[in-house]
Amino acid sequence: MSYFFYSLSLTLLILATVAYFTRHRWLHLIPIPEPLYTRLPTSFRDDVEAGLSSSTFDLTANVEAGDSRQGLDDAGKKEVQAIMKRRGVNFDEARRIFMQERFKRNGIGPDGRPRDPKFVSFS
């Protein structure tokens, strides 16, 4: 009986070691649910520290001025962070993707004009 438990524990140890060293091959296949609550930044300083700032979207002026507002929109922050994590892009690219998706949902073309067939423009 003790040989059985010894063999079983040795087999499990070997399998766990193999799984650990090959995790980059199979870990992305496991569906991992998002946590129910993730701490979002609540001020511009927290937004900068979370990586939600860049040279083209600079929040440091808000921090230096002591801006007391809540920071960026919570829903937008969560979506941009999800895009950054899912696609592995930087903040500027994630913000561009977010805005393109938002424009598409609202019926706005990539050139900024509405896609409504009844739209009339005088230039």
Rounded Cα distance, 66 and 64, in Å: 5
Please report the pLDDT score of residue 119 as a whole number. 78
Please report the pLDDT score of residue 39 as a whole number. 57
For residue 105 the two structure tokens come to 């949902």
Q: What is the phi-psi region of residue 109: left when phi exceeds 0, alpha when psi lies from -120 to 50, beta otherwise?
A: beta
Please report the pLDDT score of residue 81 as a whole number. 86
Mean pLDDT by 10 residues, the chain (123 residues): 90 95 85 61 70 77 72 80 88 89 86 80 75
Rounded Cα distance, 51 and 93, in Å: 13
- Reference 121, options 104, 102, 101, 112; nearest CA is 112
Rounded Cα distance, 67 and 31, in Å: 40
Interval 9-34: pLDDT, tens: 999 999 999 999 998 888 878 887 76
Please report the pLDDT score of residue 38 as a whole number. 56
- pTM for this one? 0.55
Number of neighbours of residue 15 by Cβ within 10 angstroms: 10
